[in-house]
Homo-oligomer: A and B are copies of this chain.
């Protein structure tokens, strides 16, 4: 009863961001109110506006990864290995209570133009650009985006659609099939 834990700006901010990430991921931008998020964080809704200015800005900060998502390793790393890394990160990784990669969750809010823009930048420019550089041939960008489509689709099928076989299958078998599908993309065309 001595340490009140309130009156701590950093902790409150962090609690709001955590609660926002979870709620926004599950229900989409329009599906949640700031009151709900603040209640989850154990504080008042007015603090959302004090710390973030608007619900929109809270969304932006909550869904932005604090650390660059996945490094691609050295310049001579095989494309197939990078693809397998992306699979583990986007699809197979245990995501805690949210249960899905932020990029998959953001699809729920893709009615908003700014969210679509964020999706494009993060998927194409951050995740796939480095991958495309390692691909031979002249339509490397297209093949990189087709790999991105497979990754995104797998994430959606598992955590949004809840498709039974893909949800129940072991990671090893999924990795095996994924590698076979990705192989035609990494060869020179």
**A45 interface contact, C-beta 8 A:** no
Given contacts A30-B31, A31-B111, A180-B184, contact A173 B139 (CB under 8 A): yes
**A181 interface contact, C-beta 8 A:** yes
Task: Count this chain's copies in the assembly.
Answer: 2
**Is the pair A177, B181 in contact by a Cβ cutoff of 8 Å?**
no
CB distance from A150 to the nearest CB of B (A): 5
**A26 interface contact, C-beta 8 A:** yes
Q: Hey, which chain B residues are within 8 Å of A124, CB to CB?
A: 161, 163-164
The segment out of A46-54, A73-81, A151-159 that lies at the interface is A151-159
Interface majority SS on A: helix, strand, loop or mixed? helix
**A102 interface contact, C-beta 8 A:** no
**Is the pair A152, B145 in contact by a Cβ cutoff of 8 Å?**
no
Q: Which residue of B lies closest to A152 (CB)?
A: B153
Q: Hey, which chain B residues are within 8 Å of A145, CB to CB?
A: 157, 163-166
Docked complex Cα distance between A141 and B165 (Å) = 6
Q: Hey, which chain B residues are within 8 Å of A156, CB to CB?
A: 107, 149, 152-153, 156
Instruction: List chain A positions with a Cβ less than 8 A from chain B.
Output: 26-28, 30-31, 107-112, 116, 119-120, 123-124, 128, 139, 141-146, 148-154, 156-157, 160-166, 169, 173-174, 177-178, 180-185, 189
Q: Closest 7 interchain pairs by CB?
A: A153-B153, A30-B30, A149-B153, A180-B184, A141-B165, A142-B165, A27-B111
